[in-house]
Structure 1
């Protein structure tokens, strides 16, 4: 029998004091003082201290006051709130190039999931004079995820997220900011569609019958899809079976779309008709996952990635400056990407801060994979 006992010894910070001798000229009164060695940062804190502040803020989403308290309680290191903010800014600048590299990687990936959620950004620094609502955007690939915060939810922000010449496959919901991406490059989220179908089925009359039929077809589709994923159904057989489901679903949508309603009508049937007409316009983008391997029918990956950001927003009430929003986006990018690759966040932060202080390139967030597997396909 073996029994282990894990313990952490008392942590005492290592403090190295540098005394700078100063002399005054007896003739002119000029003061001359020695300078710090080149390897000593004037902030007074080592790279690991700075990295821990970044991890407490970015990985564990602590407020500046909580970080201040944690540094004192855990490590016996006292620092002001202003120092915490300065160290967070140093971390943000240290990972800037790595985050930009991750952005380019995502924009050139074969399949990208995208989503967005509201975010609060104040105007302490004057960067948001109109007090506009900010939006946090995410672009997800299996191993690298990129976040950005913008004072807009329009297509320009989506283009900045994905790149103007995006040539991959976009997995998203039906939000209009992504409409500039061709339907042949899009896979719309069936989880969102299911919620729409359920809403229709809960309305009275014709809507209820139609919605029930749509939900039934969606359930048949996913029953087959689960068999493809677990290997009990070949993709070629799946494609043949899906054709009948697609025809039936399209027929139901068209039946609703052909109903006559007034332009300003707000009855339950009118809501159903408008929804079905909107879905029919993008119907070709519902089925890309059937023929292209590696494409999922839902946008769950992006929704999971954005969940920590939602928690951060709720606990911190957002940011007060543009620099604060940039810090949030960069930390989310670093933490989410490293977790996907099962890499240590503190080690990365430490190396990034050390590299920045030495004037060296930041460590990369990109995975070490066979580049031949990461080629972008042109589906246009």
Structure 2
């Protein structure tokens, strides 16, 4: 129901018909406002953190198992493996003489090895490069020495540059927090500007790795896409992301429209793109776009938690979606044959469309009627997974991958420059891709910085994976 400007004076009913009409209008308005007030992560796009303490989770409640908390009987314990390389070994021997007066023969090998791990009190090194100059005895020209090409021009070495970048991209620290860490943990004092400049230097060397992952994404059969807003100074910007189970690519843009989506996905994506119902993806052909059923379920939950006929049709639609997920899970676990799976899905699709048509006409709230009409219009996009193997029902892959940036944004309050935006999109691409492939992003970043400084072969993703094997 569209919001209207509140009148300065209360309306006055002159007769019974006017009073009934006024009551009906106020009743609809009251229910609409209560629907908005009851929004949470389960029935809207709000994040779980907005629910507040004691609110119901977006996930269905699990049945209690009756077991106590902690490790269960038969649980395989875990322990730290002994390190192969140690910095110092201290050996201890028992007394030569036993308490009974006998002589003790000492064994050659220890019966127990106890290792204590610690960090050094000074965890950095400083290399001073002294440049001299001379004067020609013939022409009196001053000749100055220059730094070698394999020496960093700034005050931060490769390991420190990689550390600063990882604290931002992987651990979501703001520049102020990184500044405090360097001071407290290492005794290093750098200004906020120096740390920001270090991030910009790292960003510049990540360009080939970023472009490589972006091109690899274009060849994937199925990709997930999502976007979220952030601030650049006082302006709105958008962080776009396209990902798979093994790759993630981020892109900052000033627009949330189809133009930005085309820049990331291409004008005519050949792969199947899993998205929510946002209009910025409507340019994608219906055969190549799968709508997220988790988002549809949230919208139908809002309908089921409303009032009147909204609740009646919403409850039925929610039940059909849960049947859809149950059928998909049974098919993926080989509990259903393909023929039986397709037959049941076809019957479910017919029932789903019938209920949507009824809800689009009989719901008492225009907002929910329009939601049902939009789903009817995009019905083909809801069922792409039936004709293409490997297409998931939800866009959860993108939601989980974008979560790291949401946490970073919440702690550092956006960016102030184009350089900061480029650094975020590139370092997040490296970190999230490494997380999905169980690689160490710090080691990859160090290898990239070393190769760039020494002008050796640049280690792209496949090269780094091969080196780790």
Residue 186 of structure 1 aligns with which residue?
289
CA distance in 1, matches of 2:320, 2:464: 41
Residue 4 of structure 2 aligns with which residue?
none
Residue 171 of structure 1 aligns with which residue?
274
Residue 115 of structure 1 aligns with which residue?
226
CA distance in 1, matches of 2:361, 2:310: 13
User: Rg bigger for which structure?
Assistant: 2
1:321 aligns with 2:421: no
Q: Residue 60 of structure 1: which of 162, 165, 171 is its match?
A: 171
Gaps of 5+ in 2: 1-111
Go from structure 1 to structure 2 and tell me whether the alpha carbon gap of 1:244 and 1:365 turns closer, same or farther (over 3 Å shift): same
1:253 Cα offset (Å): 0.9
Find the residue that maps to 2:232 and give its secondary structure. Answer: coil
Go from structure 1 to structure 2 and tell me whether the alpha carbon gap of 1:217 and 1:333 turns closer, same or farther (over 3 Å shift): same
CA distance in 2, matches of 1:368, 1:243: 46
Find the residue that maps to 1:16 and give its secondary structure. Answer: coil
Gaps of 5+ in 1: 123-130, 260-266, 370-380
| Contact 1:99–1:365, Cα closer than 8 Å, also in 2 | no
| Contact 1:102–1:366, Cα closer than 8 Å, also in 2 | no
1:138 Cα offset (Å): 0.7
The worse-fitting range, judged by mean Cα deviation, of 28-37 and 40-49 is: 28-37
CA distance in 2, matches of 1:275, 1:269: 10
Query: TM-score scaled to structure 1, two decimals?
Result: 0.87
Q: Count the aligned residue pairs.
A: 354
The worse-fitting range, judged by mean Cα deviation, of 84-93 and 197-206 is: 197-206
Residue 69 of structure 1 aligns with which residue?
180
| Contact 2:169–2:424, Cα closer than 8 Å, also in 1 | yes
CA distance in 2, matches of 1:298, 1:368: 31
Residue 358 of structure 2 aligns with which residue?
255
Find the residue that maps to 2:274 and give its secondary structure. Answer: strand
Residues 55-75 of structure 1 show CA distances to partners (whole Å, capped at 9, x for unaligned) of: 112111222222223223333
CA distance in 2, matches of 1:244, 1:283: 15
| Structure 1 residues 199-210: aligned runs within 5 Å | 199-210=302-313
| Structure 1 residues 1-380: aligned runs within 5 Å | 4-23=115-134, 31-122=142-233, 131-258=234-361, 268-366=364-462
Find the residue that maps to 2:461 and give its secondary structure. Answer: coil
Find the residue that maps to 1:120 and give its secondary structure. Answer: strand
1:191 Cα offset (Å): 0.7
CA distance in 2, matches of 1:255, 1:121: 45
CA distance in 2, matches of 1:296, 1:88: 36
1:25 Cα offset (Å): 6.8
CA distance in 2, matches of 1:144, 1:121: 26
CA distance in 2, matches of 1:33, 1:202: 77
Residue 125 of structure 1 aligns with which residue?
none
CA distance in 2, matches of 1:39, 1:367: 22
Residue 101 of structure 2 aligns with which residue?
none
| Contact 1:94–1:362, Cα closer than 8 Å, also in 2 | no
After TM superposition, the runs of 4+ consecutive aligned structure 1 residues lying more than 6 A away are: 25-29
Residues 316-364 of structure 1 show CA distances to partners (whole Å, capped at 9, x for unaligned) of: 1110001101111111111000110111111011011112223345322
Residues 184-203 of structure 1 show CA distances to partners (whole Å, capped at 9, x for unaligned) of: 11110111111111122223
Q: What is the aligned-residue RMSD (CA, Å)?
A: 2.3
